[in-house]
Chain A
């Protein structure tokens, strides 16, 4: 929770206010959005993008973003569920990574306790190999895994995160034993990218945008993306068209506290839906390279449930969670 209480942060806030145009027809709606992560990460950027879109399009008069960092969102959600209960003007950003983090951290608070509002964005995942690698496509990688699974070293983000889940799903899908996947977690995309470029590992897994520059410059070869269909303008085949039924996206969403009334839920959903249709939001999506993946409350609730089951099963299969 950055309360901007210190003079320095106050000064930053003053600059921020001076540079943010106020909308003339701003309404009275005042919202609070929690990013359960430190400033700068994906969830924080999503929360701040919402803040920008909601105020710029005049849907809300003011939106305050607070940050509660820690343990893949476990700290934030615990605080959110306890302190915001029944408050119809608060929301929290979350996403795929939180599903695994809560299971692995044996969190007391689960995603069943929050009120799903909407899925907002998603990012496609990619598997890459160094340009010098003999592996040319997903089939080569599958063959290498079938030959000796331990020798195929995957580099990606934190243990139990979306990249790790994807490595396990890849192994599962081609009929290999996911518990034997040799996955090496790195902190942050930079370090794993160095390990891939230096050919210390066989393959790397990450969000597509993170490796985009290296793929375009030819230093990395993308062997497949995890989207259901080919992405327009991107010349990388999907796993599906290569005969591997692996579909996965790193989605981000927004939820409300427990204990809000049906009316409050309806009005929050309407607010968020209106925001996702605004020009300001669409501009931000374009600028950040996020894909619009809007899914309204009921459908999103169903989706959340199925993802929860899928991730739990995967984490069990790789032995990160004891059944």
Chain B
């Protein structure tokens, strides 16, 4: 019951008018920067840090948390409406969400994203309040071999999910894996595939690739088809709001997305992207109408959106309990704590309970604010789609370029964006799925580094990969996911010949 009492006290702190104002500023800024590709919550918190040190620590930390949650929200809006993921964690949302928007169902897509984020954010914040100490013990035990096993699960499920032909899906995945090799090798510090260009030493930026492939590629493709059959965009067809059917199809993905997002977000190297991919593939498998996937299935928006918001709360578990920052934004928030001389960790809960619980309570409030801020805007946002196509896509080009330049102003970055745009166009033209490229870029380097770390720790003994329970279970899941489709197919044939 201690946690309840502490949370009630925290609510009292969070509901002070000044703190409410900070939460409101935070979610508003967060939503705004989430919308812009390239500028993420981490950058915003970094820029605000030096100016907030004169403010009261509680208020500014509440604002930072609002920015974090808001950023996760805002990214989905552009992903759905104009196929431009505001940050990499909204990529899975773009897959189905943009198809829905094109079919006139942008309203329900935005609504399920907003409500799903709210549900997931609230559940995950509850998890943060009550499970943090036990979850963190588990998260710390997760070693490199376990991460590698988790990556195997992600690779198998994700590559099986995208596209109709496995060969095309794998081709795309390998393009992504190759791009993932570019830059300084994390374990030896040697440059790979950088061709002596200093800008390439840090590797390919995920947002540059995602924005190039998704937004620019799409704009080029639409332009090339303009004189063929013009694709009619309907801004709104049917209800602007979610129907009973939509609700029925959304609530389970919301909960499942939360189940993926929160624990994986709490892992020190978990991140927000992996749970969104896992959620997307799970929903595709479990869906009553799997044929709708790729054409705008609401489950494919509800699940990943819930997952990315839940992972944001998950990230705060190791940050608050151990002082472990596991994402760029969390690292900035840690810097925020430190500038007040506060060290997150086991002692913080005991030393400054009003601050920690005030922060957790304000996350609930930020969630409510985000819902209130976003739902009325749905009607306004979908009007964007009524803009004539040439204008809309010209706008997307400007918007995408601006976001990339703001994040990393260099000619090389811009050239890469353009090159990825052309690649995206060609892949669309010849019917290769584009999502696996980004998946390969995100997962490849993590899988490689974790595998090599595990082997370095075991002095080269491969048995380390099956030494922990977590890795055995995860590798088994990966193996089943890999073999099951073939086995089921074989079984089906066997049955058929039996008749």
Give chain A's interface residues, CB within 8 Å of chain B. 1-3, 5-6, 8-9, 11-13, 15-16, 19-20, 38-40, 44-45, 48-49, 51-52, 69-71, 74-75, 78, 104-107, 150-151, 153, 158-160, 182, 184-191, 193-195, 197-198, 200-201, 209, 212-214, 216-217, 219, 287-289, 320
- What residues of B have a CB within 8 angstroms of the CB of A197 in the complex? 140, 322
A11-B29, A159-B184 known; 17 other A-B pairs, CB under 8 Å? A8-B44, A9-B406, A12-B44, A19-B51, A20-B51, A40-B332, A48-B49, A74-B198, A74-B201, A159-B186, A184-B457, A188-B325, A191-B269, A194-B322, A198-B142, A198-B143, A200-B143
| A198-B140 contact in complex given A40-B328, A151-B459, C-beta closer than 8 Å | yes
A contact residues around B343 at 8 Å (CB): 212-213, 216
In the complex, whether B341 has a CB less than 8 A from a CB of chain A is: yes
Chain B interface, number of residues (Cβ within 8 angstroms):
69
CB–CB B47/A39 < 8 A: yes
A-contact bits for B21-55, CB 8 A (1 contact / 0 none): 00000000100110010010011111111111111
Interface residues of B in 41-97 (CB under 8 A from A): 42-55
Q: Distance in Å from the Cβ of B185 to the closest Cβ of chain A? A: 8
**Which of B36, B144, B269 lies in contact with A6, CB distance below 8 A?**
B36
Are B140 and A194 touching (Cβ within 8 A)? yes
Q: Looking at the complex, which one of A16, A52, A185 makes contact with B47 (CB distance below 8 Å)?
A: A16
B453 interface residue per 8 A CB criterion: yes
A–B Cβ pairs within 8 angstroms, 27 of them: A8-B29, A12-B48, A13-B47, A38-B46, A40-B45, A40-B49, A40-B328, A45-B49, A48-B49, A71-B198, A105-B191, A106-B191, A158-B186, A159-B188, A160-B189, A182-B456, A185-B189, A191-B269, A193-B268, A197-B322, A198-B143, A200-B144, A214-B322, A216-B343, A219-B346, A287-B339, A288-B338
Does residue B444 face the partner (Cβ distance < 8 Å to A)? no
Are A150 and B29 in contact, with the CB atoms below 8 A? no
Contact: A8 with B199, CB < 8 Å?
A: no
Chain B residues near A212 (CB, 8 Å)? Answer: 343
Q: What is the distance, in angstroms, from A113's C-beta to the closest C-beta of chain B?
A: 15
CB neighbours of A160 from chain B (8 A): 189
Nearest-CB residue, chain B, relative to A21: B54
Q: Fill in one digit per residue for B392-419: 1 if any A CB lies within 8 Å of its CB, else 0.
A: 0000000000100010111000000000
Residues of A contacting B: mostly:
helix
Whether A70 contacts B199 by the Cβ 8 Å rule is yes
CB pair A190–B324 under 8 Å, yes or no, is: yes
CB proximity of A85 to chain B, nearest CB, Å: 18
In the assembly, what is the distance between CA of A133 and CA of B49, in Å? 38
B345 within 8 A of A: yes
Contacting pair A104 B402 (CB below 8 A) = no
| CB-defined contacts of B268 to chain A, threshold 8 Å | 190-191, 193-194
B406 x A75 contact (CB < 8 A): no
Q: Taking each of B198, B202, B459, which has the highest tally of chain A beta carbons within 10 Å of its own beta carbon?
A: B198
Contacts A5-B406, A70-B199; is A44 near B46 (CB within 8 Å)? yes
